[in-house]
Structure 1
Amino acid sequence: MKSTQGTGSRMKPKRIMLFGTGGGSGVTRFLVDSAATHKRLGNFDPMVVFRRKRNPLGQQFIDDLEADDVPWAEVRAAPKIVTITQLRRRIREFRPDIFVVHGHSDHIWGRMAAIRERVPIVIMVEQNIERYVWLQRLRSVALARHTDAIVAVSHGVGENLVRLGHPRHTLHVIHNGTLPGRFDRAAEVPLDEREPAVLMAARFARQKDHASLIRAAGLLRDRGTPVKIRLAGCGSSRHERKVRRLVTEFGLRDQVEFLGPRDDIAALLAQHRVSVLSTRYEGLAIAVVEAMVAGCAVVASNVVGVEDVIEHGKTGWLVKPGDPESLARGITEALGPEGVARAAAGRGFALRYLSMEKIVSDYESLFRTL
């Protein structure tokens, strides 16, 4: 796998179409921010097409796109033949030179449309460790023969693609990033002026491990060092109910607060000294990147997609996955004097290597090689 480094030269072709989910996930945010950054850098005229989920694209995403004069459209999510047909129509109208599709299974339907419309350059981006059903695996591997480049957002995601049968010779690793300016005001709040509390901003899903955080909170309470835990995010109501039952079972209802979906994550991070991501696996943990840029001390599970971002002992804490004891120990240390030093080092690392301008420059460098 090749690590792609950015350069500053201009390039042709000029038009790029980005395609992925409009469901409000991290992919949606990345599509919006990367398109805006392409526009500001001036090397491309981007357009974003979203596969519409149950609800229309969120107003904040629309406002951000319109502020940077980025055209956008939505196509139906199902049936897939309609998704592909509507996307092909958008491709014919915009006539992109490069088509970049983010996320499973959108990269299957997106590539089908782009290849049939003979877009000169087609790029697939894998955002997570995916468990393909056999038919989608066959489709993705077959489409790889007509895909100019495959991008993985972490080395672990790339190795998973190779195990599934995707070619290594077209594989590149380019991390996800964030817009640092969104978190500048949060970073201005000194760590010792923030509440000595923990924020976990993550959707409720099988992938996330809220349970270990709740158990860690129970351990800290039993040791006489209770810590306020706040959980921001929505997701699966079934998984959220399980977490709520565990909170009740451990007698932590006064200690654990459920905030629901929030669009003020930067302000929330500014209120908390510690950000935790307890998870089973990640593509590239953008929640960790945002917490680092916001100046939090970060404690996260030592899994694929997190280990690319945190250097244990320097920029944060990597703890044993699924181990409440290890997580409790990391939280305790992060709330102590060492938290200030690692938070500062983490912000410095994220600003240097994981800013959206750096990431988009890496994509543009890749485009120039194709």
Structure 2
Amino acid sequence: MMDVLYVAGTLGVGGTERHLSLVLPELARRGWRLEVALLGGDGPFGDPLRNAGISIGQIESPPDLPIPKLRGFLNLRGKSRTLADRLRAAPPRLLHCFLPSCCIVGGWAARTARFGPVAMSRRSQMNRPALFFGDKWLERVALRQADLVFGNSCAVLAELKGEGVMPERLRLVHNGIELAPLPTEADRRSTRVAEGWRDDEVVLVAVANLIPYKGHADILHGLAEVEANGLSNWRLVLVGGGAPQHASILRALAKELNIANRVAFLGPRTDIPRLLAAADVGVLCSHHEGFSNALLEYMSASLPVVATATGGNLDAVEDSKTGRLVPVADPRLLGRALGQIIMDAACRVRMGAAGRAKVEKEFSLDACVTKYEEAYRALWAEHDQAMSRP
């Protein structure tokens, strides 16, 4: 019998996909039997799972639906029936669903198949964009009916409590990463030469898909303030995919602010650790955030962090110790914080070292995986006890 069947959206580039690519192979290494069922397509983060011997399948979609306004809802409903058949035919010991659509599909499927136990994970705050009319309500219902609900930050757990999830069913599991080895000075210099970064530039890197709520426009406005104050020894590197039209808007904004020559749009990259090892500051200015892997990757690379004071950023970053926290959507204060950290090399070194120590102590992959194991085993014991009652 399979231990855990995970339901995920895709295995493309994204925070949840990255999380699964780290956690599931480690669980498999510890002897867990795992399988992944996708609502969407495979992607680059599928390779670590396959290399660990984890089976990946897709939940078949129903035929094209003729009613556009109901297409999103009916598509998920059809996928839930397919998943219910899978749960009846070969039930795992646990179903674990990640992200809103998967929680909706998994909840429907479990009720149809009369299957349990079910765990669900919310990894972002609820002010995310709607997938279709009513999807947020459906997600809340699914989460309230789950046997166990994981949140990846204190802010996410607080939202879940406010939405009616029973506190005893909630578990906090922060993201975890493997600590990156410290780069040699030769590696750092080689990367900077290859990327065209000068030795005298302070390189600020922002790893986030180009989506409006990630706050890239705020970063550009903040750095325009830095430039206006006479500080010009910096370069901003934006790493991430996203909608081409938003990338065009950001490029036009950089040009309008007269800082386009200092801003590089790299698009999606697979060598992010290499880039971070050669950078000087990590930036994340999301308007809302569950818990960002990028923050941990910055800190693992000994980079000081400038981030917005929202969501899981508050769990990861200690203001004035591992970086700076600034108000959401406030380019003026963001620019002030960036300017201060650009000017103070000693501060960057001190904060970077403190951030790496914090990741090693609090956000290791080993600790993250162990928390999942403990929660799964406790849920199984509770479920078995309930099923044995007359």
Task: Give the structure-1-normalised TM-score.
Answer: 0.87
Is 1:121 aligned to 2:117, yes or no?
yes
Q: What is the letter of the counterpart of residue 37 of structure 1?
A: E
Matched, 1:198 2:204: yes
Q: Which moved more, 1:116-125 or 1:94-103?
A: 116-125
CA change 1:76–1:222 in 2 (3 A) is: farther
Distance 1:93 1:361 in 2: 30
Cα distance in 2 for residues equivalent to 1:331 and 1:138? 39
Task: Call closer, same or farther: CA 1:141–1:282 in 2, change over 3 Å.
Answer: closer
Cα-to-partner distance string for 1:335-364 (whole Å, 9 max, x where unaligned): 421111111111111122212221111111
Contact 2:188–2:277 (CA under 8 A) maintained in structure 1: no
1:330 to 332, 337, 345: 337
**Equivalents in 2 of 1:26, 1:144: separation in Å?**
20
Q: Which residue in the other structure is 2:37 paired with?
A: 49
Cα RMSD (Å) of the superposition?
Answer: 2.3
More helix by share: 2
Give the whole-Å Cα distance in 1 for the aligned partners of 2:272 and 2:93: 35
For 2:17, the equivalent position in structure 1 comes to: 28
Superposition pairs of residues 1-370 of structure 1, within 5 angstroms: 15-22=3-10, 23-42=12-31, 44-52=32-40, 56-58=41-43, 60-76=44-60, 79-92=75-88, 94-131=90-127, 135-144=134-143, 146-180=145-179, 183-184=180-181, 187-189=182-184, 196-226=202-232, 227-335=234-342, 336-370=345-379
What residue identity is the alignment partner of 2:207?
A
Higher relative contact order (CA 8 A, sep 6+): 1
- Measured after TM superposition, the shift of residue 87 of structure 1 is 2.4
Comparing 94-103 with 337-346, greater Cα deviation is found at 94-103
Contact 2:308 2:326 in 1 (8 A): yes
Aligned-partner SS, 2:205: strand
Deviation at 1:105, TM superposition (A): 2.5
Partners of 2:303 and 2:49 lie apart in 1 by 28
* Superposition deviation, residue 251 in structure 1: 1.2
In 2, the alpha carbon distance for the partners of 1:322 and 1:215 equals 10
Q: Which amino acid aligns with 2:278?
A: Q
State whether residues 115 and 146 of structure 1, in contact with CA within 8 Å, keep that contact through their aligned partners in structure 2.
no
* Alpha-carbon distance between aligned partners in 1 of 2:219 and 2:88, rounded to the nearest angstrom: 49
Amino acid at match of 1:344: A
Percentage of matched positions with identical amino acids: 26
Q: Deviations over 1:103-144 (max 9, x none)?
A: 112211122223433443211110101246773344334434
Q: Work out the CA distance in 1 between the residues paired with 2:114 and 2:178.
A: 33
Q: Which residue of 2 aligns with 1:5?
A: none
State the match for 1:8 in structure 2: none
Q: Which has the larger radius of gyration?
A: 2
* Gap regions ≥5 residues in structure 1: 1-12
